[in-house]
Every structure is written in C-alpha cells, then in structure tokens.
Amino acid sequence: MKAVVQRVSKASVRVNGSICGSIEKGLVILVAVHQDDTDEQLKWVADKCRRLRIFEDEEGKMNRSVEDVDGEILLISQFTLYGDVKKGSRPSFISSAPPEKAEKMYEKMVSYMEKSIKGKIKTGVFGAYMEVSLINEGPVTIIVER
C-alpha cells in the first residue's frame, strides 16, 4: 500500500462538478492498493498517516499529528500511484490491485480511520473521475509505503 500525505490548510474533491468531500486544516491522503496488500499493511499505513508528526507546535517544530491539532483527513483512492514508467512513456498499472480488491481495501481504510478520528474523515468517490483542489502548507508532502 502506498500513500501520499499532504499537510493542507484546506482541500476539496469534486465529482461531476459537485463537491463530495472537503476539509479545513488537516491531511489529504492519496492512497493506492497494491495487488498483494493485506489488512495488516492497510492498518500500518493508516496508523502511520494519522500519527505523522508534521504539524507545528508552539515552537514552530513539526511535532504534532493531525489528531493533536484536531484536524481532518480527506482520503482519496488513487491507483495511479503504482504507475510504473521504467519502460517507455506510458505507465503500466500492473502492480495496482484489481478494482474489486482495491475498493474493498479502500472502504476498510475509511472505516478503520473513522474509528480513530470520528467525524473527521471525508472521502472522494472510488473509481470516479475526481478533481482535487488543495492548499499544501509548507509545502509538506510525505510518502508512506509498506
């Protein structure tokens, strides 16, 4: 499983011209499921993302997690994170999980994170064409992979 985590001051995702998820201060997490991923990997990545200390404390040091700052999470499925461009110019997505598995794992991740950060998880729409807007603070972008 691979996640790209961005610290944001606000973000939103649109599907068919309508906002389906939006947050203020928090994290945008783009997540991709690998064909071999397990529930154990999903939980590790989810916990790592929500516990990342990438928000500033009163001394200006990155020392607080999204939970510590009462932030929100916009969780978006993005299979293209496993795009392989080692050969040629057209990405190969052979490592990405098939849609059935990826959707199931994505929904598990949403549920798992919701248990830890109740009412603070917003999402896109799995498999939809989405337009994501965000203001990346810092910028801070971290890749989490297991």
- Number of helices (H), then strands (E), belonging to the chain: the values are 2, 8
pLDDT digits (tens, 9 = 90+) for 83-137: 999 999 999 999 999 999 999 999 999 999 999 888 999 999 999 999 999 999 9
- Where exactly are the structural domains of the chain? 2-145
CATH number at 2-145: 3.50.80.10
Q: Which of 6, 79, 93, 123 is catalytic?
A: 79
Q: Of 24, 66, 29, whose CA–CA distance to 45 is shortest? A: 29
Which among 38, 80, 123, 141 is annotated as catalytic?
80
Q: Look up 80 and say whether it is catalytic.
A: yes
Cα–Cα distance list, 101 to 20, 36, 85 (Å): 23, 10, 23
| pTM (predicted TM-score) | 0.95
What is the rounded average pLDDT of the residues 58-63?
96
Please tell me the distance from the alpha carbon of residue 96 to that of residue 78, in angstroms, as a whole number. Answer: 10
Catalytic residue among 78, 123, 126, 141: 78
Task: Provide the 10 A C-beta neighbour count for residue 12.
Answer: 18
Q: Which residue has the tokens 């917003």?
A: 122
Q: pLDDT band at residue 15, thresholds of 50, 70 and 90?
A: very high
My answer on whether omega of the bond before 98 falls inside 30° of 0, hence cis, is: no
Name the strand (E) or helix (H) holding 111: helix 99-116
Q: Is 93 a catalytic residue?
A: no
Mean pLDDT of the chain: 97
Catalytic site includes residue 79? yes
